[in-house]
Structure 1
Amino acid sequence: MVESFPMKKVIDDQGNLVMASERELIDQDLVQTAYYHMYRIRTFDKKAKSLQRQGRIGTYPPFEGQEAAQVGSALALGEEDWLFPTYRDHGAMLTFGANMTRTFLYWNGRLEGCVPPDGKRIFPAAVPIATQLLHATGASWAEKRKGTKNIAIAYFGDGATSEGDFHEGLNFASVFQTPTIFFNQNNGYAISVPFERQMNSKTIAQKGIAYEIPSVRVDGNDFFAVYFEMQKAVNRARNGEGPTLIEAVTWRTGAHTTADDPTKYRPKELGQDIVDPIVRFERFMKNEGFWDEDFAANIHQEVEKEIEAAVKEMESYPKANVEDIFDHVFAELPNQLASQKDTYLQLLRGK
């Protein structure tokens, strides 16, 4: 079955073009935009890990190593499309227009972190596994019924394909030919469970066969492979040709979250032969004459300033009202929770 879904690749690990036919689709604006976003979200990710270790935000799920997949997919979307992320897709969210301060606030446990900028259709990150596939299918179906050309993308990991919601989402999207893109980032592990223990299938792309959904397998560390295949899927969806399943094979370089220790379940040497997607992209830029030292230096400086300003703004927010934990779930607070709230408030007041 692997032979039926060959890995689509545009540049190799050394940044050389392996699909010369794609060269005419690549210009300086695309290259510089992609580099900016990949560098920006990588720097955000590193800062977030540092903040967590300092106790300034809560548990955090790093996405280092998945920048090409997240940026390549998000850049292919239109302004009025819908984005349904998992808890590891804040890189895609930031690329699509999420506010950086609010993204930091989310990982600081703040409700404000779930609110997208005006006009941006970005759902809060889905922590329950695979639920967002149903939401994306429903949103795209609504767009189809309204007669728009807007589409929805659902991000998910390889572990999500073991959930019933994955199959229900694909089945519904297939039956109603919804303009949905199911974007899988196969990073090799569902928390601590390796891909080969998660399923007997050799690929995730092949799972689309049962639902008559066009499927493709791409090198998720190759920005261009992701971006160009996403464009094809987006065009199909807008033209009323239904959903697409994309498997982007990538690698999570670090832990599942900052509360995880990958040395407990991943051999130390595993993944060491995988070239960093940003290094790979920089090699391409230098090989093809797109590299500009001044441009890169300016981007690095601009991003550093933006991130430091976002952290400062995040930490300047007034303290959250702890009563919000209790007050916005039930119309009438059950006695047990009312007692817990009273006890908690007394502890806060030092009684």
Structure 2
Amino acid sequence: MVIGMCRSFRDRALDRCYHCFPCLSDPARRSSLVLKVTLVMLHLVYVGILFLFDSDLIDKTKKEPWYTALYLLLFFATLVQYFITSGSSPGYVLDAMRAVNETNVICKQSSMAKQRQTASSKNGSLPVEGCQSGRNFQGTDSTSWTKLVMDMYPPGTSIRSCICPYCNVEQPPRAKHCYDCDKCVLHFDHHCVWLGTCIGQGNHCKFWWYICEESALCLWTGILYITYLRANISRAWWNDAIAILLLIPLSIFIVFLLLLLFFHSYLILTNQTTYELVRRRRIPYLRGIPERVYPFSKGVCHNLYDFCCGGSNIYSLEPLPSAQELEEKSRPYTCLDVLTCRCC
């Protein structure tokens, strides 16, 4: 009897909680929320204990407030960048398809309106400029998503081989279905558990800046902890023990973040994704390409520019390179190529 009343009370409490906070009713979103709260709490614990134990840092703050101000600025900027990245869209294929369809409808309406205007004014046929705004996808003027996607593949590619069996939509090159998000993602890189979202074409740049700021913050925090231990090793032993216990996992995080930062920097410079690098032999459009050939690379400078400045349109598609382009990219570099900046 008592157990039944407790269960009934618990169920009513959970229903009220889910009604007030709908995000908690989804197990995946609930797990993501727990991880986000855990990460924020870890940041607060590391910084709070540092200012609680290190009296020398407090004195330095009074003498040189700019030093602590820069550290706290980096701390808050890292947390803000974390939430910006976790809340950003990686660029879903369904959203891109809707954007293309809306653009086509607008172009058709604009074209019909201009035709009516030209017919009434009897000035002959005029070029339709309204559809130029629809050329956001590699300059194509296709009228449907299917034709747009098929233009990205070599001639003769079957439509059935491009359709996602889960979303039932045509996948452009470099897109993949994420089983955690249950959506197809453009330029799929990986699904980040700590962020609770996929990393793709729309937020890869934000993700790189986040791990860059997080690496700098962890390095700075590690230096402050080491400085504290060197100056206070002969004082209260329990303070030192707590600092050492916090410094050990922090050192592991620093190594992991630096490796992750270097890895994604390499991917950016070569215009690759984690999924393409890891599953290269299983992806059909990369299976026959040599390991050291980067089929989507446009040179280091162009890759950096597209990565940093190409975020204005998160639904841009990238066609597969032709056989001539692959042959050109597989050609070994010579001294003349270095002088002409072929790698750039």
TM bin (shorter chain): under 0.3
TM-score computed with the length of structure 1 as normaliser: 0.21
- Higher Cα Rg, which structure: 2
Higher helix share: 2
TM-score, normalised relative to structure 2: 0.22
